[in-house]
Structure 1
Amino acid sequence: MTHFLTSRHDITLNLVRDVAWRGEALAVADVTLDDIDKQREAFLAFVRCDSDARVYGVNQGQGEMIAEAMDEADRERLARLKPLAAAVPFGEPYPERVVRAMVLARFANLLEGHGTGSVRLVQALAAMLNEGPLPKVPQKGQGGPGEILVLYTLFADLAQSLDLEPGERGALINGAPAAAAVLADAALVGERRLALAERVLALAIVAFNAPAEHYEPVVGTLLGGAHNETAFNNLAALLDGMTNGVAARDHQAPVGYRIVPHVLGQAHAAVEQAHLMATQSLSAVTHNPIYLAPEAAGGYGRSLSTGGYHNAVAAPAMDQIAGACADLCLVCLRLCVGLLNGRVSGYPDFLLSGRKAGESDGHGAVGYLPMAITGFMEEARAAATRTFIPASDASVFGQDDVTAPAFLAWPKTMAAGASMEACLAVTAVAASQALHVTGRTQIPAPLTGLLDDVRHHVRTVEGDRVLGPDLGALTNHLRAGVFTDDHNSDGSGR
């Protein structure tokens, strides 16, 4: 399928999913190409005819050279200059879906002429997505102002294939498309991880036989907020039929069980905020300078120097998702411990099957699961730290004196989420074992597929054995489900 862009507002999370994740084709509508060409001609006329025109990167130097006087030869040389010098990061690259999202988000500045790009540049960007191959863009070493370290690397090959004209260099490497892309990716991954968390935590609730009243949707309604209603409604749907074939527990469950929908509600709020900010960022005009056409500004138009390349909302939104993942890891720990503690669950201690504690080393293999969760939980908590705007000034001469934080937040969000996936896998095994030792065979229909997957990778435990590789295989299986729409992924999300 080919998606056609007519305006910057066509660049949405759904389009990121289709074009960046699924690899579907992209084109720009002919009428939009005509408009881009008209805006480009208006911009060139502005530079040529307006004696007051001061356009950063066109007839003014860039970065630390902003105050340097430029003659005609200097301006021609600047126009042809290839964006190579700032391509200094190295190390593990972003997944291809993220790089594709960066290229897609690049169109926002160009479709309505604000970024001074040309029709040939727009068509070349579409060709990058449709024909490839895409360059490898490193995740590490991204300590620059705005996005030049990312975008120089991303568009170096394209720039070297063209004889650049005035404004085209800046059209490639200025603005904030990459922050929009990593935020969009975090939002899409976050919603999928949250859906997985709902299913696993619901399975643990069923295994514990917690009272259904803790999860009634009316509680979410009374709490207020769409995020709470969504969490309670989703959980209630997964738990429908949870007491079939078993007597309901006649007293309230521990706090960890009762707060499951509340913590999920907070996670929904974090993902919803990331969706909102990603939607805003993907279609935002972030160029420096922004060109306003004559229709909007009169005369030959205007050029406005801006700080649009600094996306101030991306890192906080991603941090909220990382924090929600860390909190859900703690919920996993409490639910797992509740299942293993016979005085709480009423089940055999450590969920031992057909034997006593003295016939194992004291815990049995399942009894050590909380220790694994603790390790992954602490990794999630370490990743889920606030991403401040870096205080360092790496500019040398003072122009480029603030670093963009989005590229520091994205890997932490991915790491916290990966740790949560591991905690969920371990919790699911504990739930499976609890259902096994209590002889429960009837569980809600929406959870049967999950239980089958768990037992396919980690069979129920009758005696001590090495569980680590099986737990790892289950984690990888659950993770692959998160990234099922990523046509280039091996299931790891990388």
Structure 2
Amino acid sequence: MTDGIEPALDPANAAPVRVASESLKQVAAVRTSALEALAAGRAVYGVNTGMGNLSKVRLSDDEQRVHQRNLLLGRAVGGPPWLAPDEARAVLIGRLRTFLTGDAAVSVGLVQQLVALINSGHTPAIPEEGAGSAGEIIPLAHAMAPLIGEGWLLAKDSEVVSAAGLLPPFELGVKEGIALLAGIPGATGRAALQVARVRKLADRLTAVAAAGIAVIGANRDPYHPLAGRGDDVLADELTRLRELTGPEDNPRSLQAPVSFRVAGQVIAHVRRATQHLDDAVQRAFDGVSDSPAYLDGEFVGTAGFHGIDLTAHCDQLTVALAHAAEVSAARLHRLLDPAVTGLTAQLARDPGPQAGLVAVHKRAVATTHQLRRLTLPTAINTVETSNGQEDVQTFSWEAVGNLAEAIRLTRETTACELLAVRQAVALSGRQLPGALQGLMDEVDAVVPPIDADRPFGADLTNLLRDVL
């Protein structure tokens, strides 16, 4: 347990969290030291001064107490659509992890209030969009408002209810309002969640591609592990594909279509980009993101809110997924071609009277078109806010939102390919190697045999819900 949270941050784990007593002692010690430093009277941004363009205004002791609460209230300008509950919880855990570094100099009471919110079974209503600032002050204002009895909680059917009364009353102390809004903990927590999702998806991408390779009787040469020399990620992926597909003694052609041959390179790139993002997440959690941060006995203004590292790696993974989805859609198109499969046209039982799966490919085409629109670099847009005090942004909140959407759309395309692969297997009468046959059995559990045209959207929904 390196982060002081039990269990450690696991986006897929909804179990209650607990902060280790050693971490709470450290938080208390830093808080005591920070209050002593503030008593010296030096101007500290956002603590005894205003924020942004109002940082030249010094605040009295009474104004400081009101100011910390006002920071949350006046910046909650977002609205629906709201983050899903698991993403909202990831935002809260991200904030908790950064508090335990000590940089924020918050009280043990605030940490315990945040833990209580995480474990309450309720999640704040946090806007998906509209974080156009240096950092995440708008979504974090929504996320943290329930700590002081304000804001809104998610309810059923995208409705919200008041957060008043959810937790015992809590009054923010000095520095604690700005601490709740500092840095990029929300994008970092959400990115950790996306990393877990992509790793699961990558395993499915491998299995679906392998099943397609097997059912068309593709030559296995492109998946020789030695072809990954100098690239361990690629070598591992080629090994996985080779093991899943097994040998093919009588390939249909010397070379399968490119979309089948490059499966190893495409999925290896997804896995590599995922690891790069995971590394960026760890840097964001372990680094200094607070501003002002309490470092070595003094308050230091930092630029830890500038999440270009996180943004760039979210963008990289989004592009990797978009490419994987396009290759998936291309393989799906080839599966409809008798010249590639040796099967009936469009995988129809009775071509002509039946259209087969041609419309499933059309859905995949529309999905990949949506994906392409997500691949514009997110950080390439500098707009002044706060009367020029904030004159650049990285839009890391938007970058991780784009990534979440890219994951959703890539799953859709993969579902389309998987449906076609299953029909090709059924028409061919092939028995796939063990692990791949297990995947086909999973499909059979939720998708009835395809003997005639029907509304395949229902089948795709079942695959997305139960298999992918």
TM-score, normalised relative to structure 2: 0.89
The equivalent position to 2:30 in structure 1, one of 6, 19, 39, is: 39
* Distance change >3 Å, CA 175–CA 337, structure 1 → 2: closer
Instruction: Tell me which residue corresponds to 2:434.
Output: 445
The equivalent position to 1:349 in structure 2, one of 329, 345, 349, is: 345
Alignment root-mean-square deviation, CA? 2.3
Contact 1:105 1:283 in 2 (8 A): no
C-alpha distance after superposition, 1:220-253 (max 9, x if no partner): 2x2x22321232122223223x54xx74435221
* Distance change >3 Å, CA 399–CA 196, structure 1 → 2: same
The equivalent position to 2:207 in structure 1, one of 166, 184, 199, is: 199
Q: Which amino acid counterpart does residue 231 of structure 1 have in structure 2? A: E
Output aligned runs, 1:54-65, within 5 Å: 54-65=43-54
* Distance change >3 Å, CA 68–CA 262, structure 1 → 2: same
Contact 2:136 2:184 in 1 (8 A): yes
* Cα offset, 1:276, TM superposition: 0.8
* Separation (CA, whole Å) in 2 of partners of 1:27 and 1:79: 26
Please say if 1:27 is aligned against 2:7.
Answer: no
Contact 2:379 2:393 in 1 (8 A): no
Output aligned runs, 1:86-97, within 5 Å: 86-97=75-86
Runs of 5+ unmatched residues, structure 2: 150-168
Contact 1:108 1:284 in 2 (8 A): no
The equivalent position to 1:208 in structure 2, one of 186, 203, 216, is: 216
* Distance change >3 Å, CA 152–CA 257, structure 1 → 2: same
Instruction: Tell me which residue corresponds to 2:152.
Output: none
Contact 1:59 1:70 in 2 (8 A): yes
C-alpha distance after superposition, 1:240-273 (max 9, x if no partner): 3x54xx7443522121111111111111111111
Please say if 1:283 is aligned against 2:283.
Answer: no
Please say if 1:374 is aligned against 2:358.
Answer: no
Instruction: Tell me which residue corresponds to 1:137.
Output: 126
* Cα offset, 1:11, TM superposition: 6.5
Q: Which amino acid counterpart does residue 44 of structure 1 have in structure 2? A: L
* Separation (CA, whole Å) in 2 of partners of 1:371 and 1:112: 50
* Separation (CA, whole Å) in 1 of partners of 2:466 and 2:29: 51
- Which deviates more from structure 2 when the two are superposed, residues 413-422 or residues 458-467? 458-467
Please say if 1:103 is aligned against 2:92.
Answer: yes
* Cα offset, 1:340, TM superposition: 2.1
* Cα offset, 1:21, TM superposition: 2.7
Contact 1:33 1:119 in 2 (8 A): yes
* Separation (CA, whole Å) in 2 of partners of 1:282 and 1:132: 24
Output aligned runs, 1:430-469, within 5 Å: 430-440=420-430, 442-469=431-458
Q: Which amino acid counterpart does residue 458 of structure 1 have in structure 2? A: V
Instruction: Tell me which residue corresponds to 1:233.
Output: 239
Instruction: Tell me which residue corresponds to 2:155.
Output: none
- Which deviates more from structure 2 when the two are superposed, residues 115-124 or residues 417-426? 417-426
* Separation (CA, whole Å) in 2 of partners of 1:444 and 1:178: 43
* Separation (CA, whole Å) in 1 of partners of 2:383 and 2:359: 43
* Distance change >3 Å, CA 313–CA 154, structure 1 → 2: same
Contact 1:82 1:159 in 2 (8 A): no
Identical counterparts, % of pairs? 26
- Which deviates more from structure 2 when the two are superposed, residues 251-260 or residues 383-392? 383-392
* Distance change >3 Å, CA 254–CA 134, structure 1 → 2: closer
Please say if 1:328 is aligned against 2:328.
Answer: no
The equivalent position to 2:175 in structure 1, one of 163, 167, 191, is: 167
Q: Which amino acid counterpart does residue 135 of structure 2 have in structure 1? A: G
Please say if 1:386 is aligned against 2:389.
Answer: no
* Separation (CA, whole Å) in 2 of partners of 1:165 and 1:389: 37
Instruction: Tell me which residue corresponds to 2:402.
Output: 412
* Cα offset, 1:317, TM superposition: 1.3
Count of residue correspondences: 449
* Distance change >3 Å, CA 369–CA 83, structure 1 → 2: closer
Higher relative contact order (CA 8 A, sep 6+): 1
* Distance change >3 Å, CA 462–CA 15, structure 1 → 2: same
* Separation (CA, whole Å) in 1 of partners of 2:403 and 2:314: 6
Output aligned runs, 1:165-314, within 5 Å: 165-220=173-228, 222=229, 224-240=230-246, 243=248, 247-249=250-252, 251-293=254-296, 301-314=297-310
* Distance change >3 Å, CA 148–CA 155, structure 1 → 2: same
Contact 2:43 2:58 in 1 (8 A): no
* Cα offset, 1:39, TM superposition: 1.5
C-alpha distance after superposition, 1:252-306 (max 9, x if no partner): 212111111111111111111111111221232211111123xxxxxxx221111
